[in-house]
Amino acid sequence: MTGAVSPGEDGRIRGRCRKCMLEDWDDKTLHEKILRTVEQMDPDVRAEEAVYQARLEHCRSCDKLLAGMCRVCGCFVEVRAANKNSRCPGEHHHW
């Protein structure tokens, strides 16, 4: 998917897919920072990869996902889902 960054005259970022994870954007800078944050997490608190991916699949189909962020808690879901102690903050607790 394309996710071109195109700040308008008012400086607001437009053109990003509202239903994409950061990894889906053409602009990889922020996603690389997020990945580094996940990689630097203590292994004791990091969720198993299969759990992590399953959580992200729930987020992808959730109407609270907006440009890589959860609109309920404001977290980047790719960080929140990486912590095995985290829970989905949504009303239906998808994970």
Give residues in contact with ligand SF4 (CB under 6 A): 58-59, 62, 64-65, 70, 72, 77, 88-90, 94
C-alpha 74/C-alpha 58 separation (Å) is 16
Q: How far is the CB of 10 from ligand SF4 (least distance, A)?
A: 27
- For the bound state, the minimum distance from the C-beta of residue 8 to ligand SF4, rounded and expressed in Å, comes to 26
How far is the C-alpha of 29 from the C-alpha of 46, rounded, in Å? Answer: 22
Query: Nearest distance from residue 19's CB to ligand SF4, in Å?
Result: 10
Closer CB to ligand SF4, 4 or 87, in the complex: 87
Query: Any idea which residue has 């990945």 for tokens?
Result: 35
Residue 93: helix, strand or coil by DSSP?
Answer: coil
In sequence order, the 6+-apart residues with CB closer than 8 A to the CB of 91 are 72
Given the complex with ligand SF4, which of 9 and 93 has the nearer CB atom?
93
Which residue, 3 or 70, has its beta carbon nearer to ligand SF4?
70
